[in-house]
Each structure stands twice: as structure tokens, then as C-alpha cells.
Amino acid sequence: MRRRHGYFRTTGWIFELQEHKADTAVAMVDLTDWRLRGQERYLKGVSLLRQAYQRYAPNPSWDHDHCAFCHTKFMVEDLPGVLHEGYCTLDQHRWICTTCFDDFREYFDWKLADTSGVVV
């Protein structure tokens, strides 16, 4: 499937069209969105798990993580303003809140996986 990219200068919006039998807009993302800071390098096309937050096993003293986009805090402890579940990479190193997942899912072409890493 061939992809075409476009940019509409007056608004800063980009669009990505995938050619099917008829062209349809697949994702529209504002490239000036403050949350976008080059995450395509390490999050484009990855598989994600939806799960409760757990401390990062390779570093048990690491008591929290942040959303890779908006920096909302993930923690096990029940404190004001923290999240307790979201989406993470299979190695549980990167976390994404539900809002950012919904906003960028199509643009980043994420796949959901089960706990064994199999894409569902």
C-alpha cells in the first residue's frame, strides 16, 4: 500500500492518505501539537499493552513514569493527579496515557497486544 503525505500551510495540519479503492483520510495530526517531540523515532508502529501501571522491573527504585507525550505521571501509589493504568511498550519502558493514545493511535500506527506480546 502506497502512502502519500500532505501539508496544509494555513493551519499546520498534516494528513496521511492511504490508497485503497478510494482515498480516505487515515490520520490527521497537528504537527505543531506541543506533545509531539520526535517520538516517531521510537514509537512509530510499535505494539502496545493496555495494563495497570507497574514499576519498571529493571530498575525497582524507579517509582513512577510519565506519558511519552503529555508527561502525565503514572504511579502505583494512589496520589492526586496520577494515572494507574494506560498503554505501554512490550518492555514496559514507555507509557502512554489514554488521551494521547486516542489522539495519536492512527498516526503512529500502534497495534494492541495481549500480555504475551501477540498482536490482537
pLDDT for 7 beyond 60? no
Examine the pLDDT at 113 and tell me if it is beyond 50: yes
| Same structural domain, 10 and 48 | no
Same domain, 49 and 85: yes
What is the predicted pLDDT for the residue at 114? 87
Q: Are residues 110 and 68 in the same domain?
A: yes
Count of domains observed in the chain: 2
Which of 2, 6, 24, 3 minimizes the C-alpha distance to 15? 6
pTM: 0.75
Q: Look up residue 116 and give its three cell numbers.
A: 504475551
Task: Let me know whether 57 and 17 are in one domain.
Answer: no
Q: Domain range holding 51?
A: 37-120
Q: Mean pLDDT, the chain, as a whole number?
A: 82
Query: Looking at the structure, do residues 56 and 88 belong to the same domain, yes or no?
Result: yes
Residues 111, 60, single domain; the answer is yes
Q: What is the pLDDT of residue 101?
A: 98
Whether the per-residue pLDDT at 4 is higher than 60: the answer is: no
Same domain, yes or no, for 64 and 51? yes
Q: Which tens digits make up the pLDDT trace of 33-86?
A: 999 999 999 999 999 999 999 988 888 888 999 999 999 999 999 999 999 999
Alpha helices in the chain (DSSP H): 40-43, 98-108
